[in-house]
Amino acid sequence: MASSLSTEQSTTSGIQDILANNRQWVATKNAEDPEFFKRLADGQKPRYLFIGCSDSRVPASGITGTGPGEMFVHRNIANMVVHADMNLLSVLQYAVEVLGVQDIMVVGHYGCGGVAAAANNKQYGLIDNWLVNIRDVVRLHETELLRITDEKQRLRRLVELNVIEQVQNLAKTNIIQNARRGENPPRLHGLVYDIADGVLKDLQVDNTGNFSNMAHIYSTEAPPVADAGSAPEPPTEEEDSSSYEGPQHDPGQE
């Protein structure tokens, strides 16, 4: 059919454009610095971890002026830090414990479609189960949000509050908590990007201060680590679950 053929042609030419752009980029980079790719092939030691929205108008490298090797990147709809998200947790652990990133930024953006979708009561399908995490942010800050009468301003504030909550969510992970007991813990930042003017704004999230209010709930401590190379101690007779016979009966309580 003519319509499917034209779709196929435009798809092919789209990828041809990508490949042509790539060859041009390789040529430019090599002209600027003949060692560029050789250095990158040796490994990465990025200073930053970027957690941003998948929105095509928020290109991580472009808006931060970082090049290859400088920033580890995770993107999802509405720049969420969800504690059951194996993808985010794996990226975070690798970035903190292996790469040793120094600054972690959650980057939201005004005009976020995910945040706008969470702010209304329509169903969108599977994604509703992701958006519920943003609805939790609405619930936490409902009083403040209801005071803002202008809908556009209310959505902008929700974008900011969502970033702040995601920074808090980072602080709740055992990955960040353990890193903070080490020598060079990464700093956490909440930023908002304005797609209307290109400006990135620091929300100055005081995550340590705010988090201290919740530390009695979320702060956890890792169990002591056994010496490397030694086998784990076998359970003592009391700890061995096979000899467990239920709670101790105390006749004095009756």
Which is nearer to Co ion, 125 or 223 (by Cβ)?
Answer: 125
Q: How far apart are the first and last CA of the chain?
A: 84
CA distances from 77 to 54, 66, 112, 180, 190 (A): 5, 22, 9, 28, 16
112 is catalytic: yes
Beta-bridge partners for 75? 52
Tell me the closest approach of the beta carbon of residue 55 to Co ion, in angstroms.
4
Q: Which stretch binds Co ion (CB under 5 A): 19-27, 45-53, 67-75, 120-128?
A: 45-53
Report the alpha-carbon distance of residue 95 to residue 48 in Å, rounded.
9
- 191 counts as binding Co ion under rule CB under 5 A: no
Give the burial class of 120: count Cβ atoms within 10 A of its Cβ; 0-12 exposed, 13-18 middle, 19 or more buried. Answer: exposed
Phi, psi dihedrals of residue 103, rounded to the nearest 5°: -135, 130
Which is nearer to Co ion, 163 or 176 (by Cβ)?
Answer: 163
Report the alpha-carbon distance of residue 63 to residue 198 in Å, rounded.
7
109 is catalytic: yes
Among 17, 39, 57, 128, the active-site one is 57
- 55 counts as binding Co ion under rule CB under 5 A: yes
- 112 counts as binding Co ion under rule CB under 5 A: yes
Considering only residues 49, 53, 92, 95, which one is a binding residue for Co ion as defined by CB under 5 A?
53
Report the alpha-carbon distance of residue 25 to residue 75 in Å, rounded.
24
Q: Which stretch binds Co ion (CB under 5 A): 6-14, 27-35, 52-60, 211-219?
A: 52-60
Q: How many residues bind Co ion (CB under 5 A)?
A: 4
136 is catalytic: no
- 160 counts as binding Co ion under rule CB under 5 A: no
Chain residues binding Co ion by CB under 5 A are 53, 55, 112, 114
Q: Which residues are catalytic?
A: 53, 55, 57, 109, 112
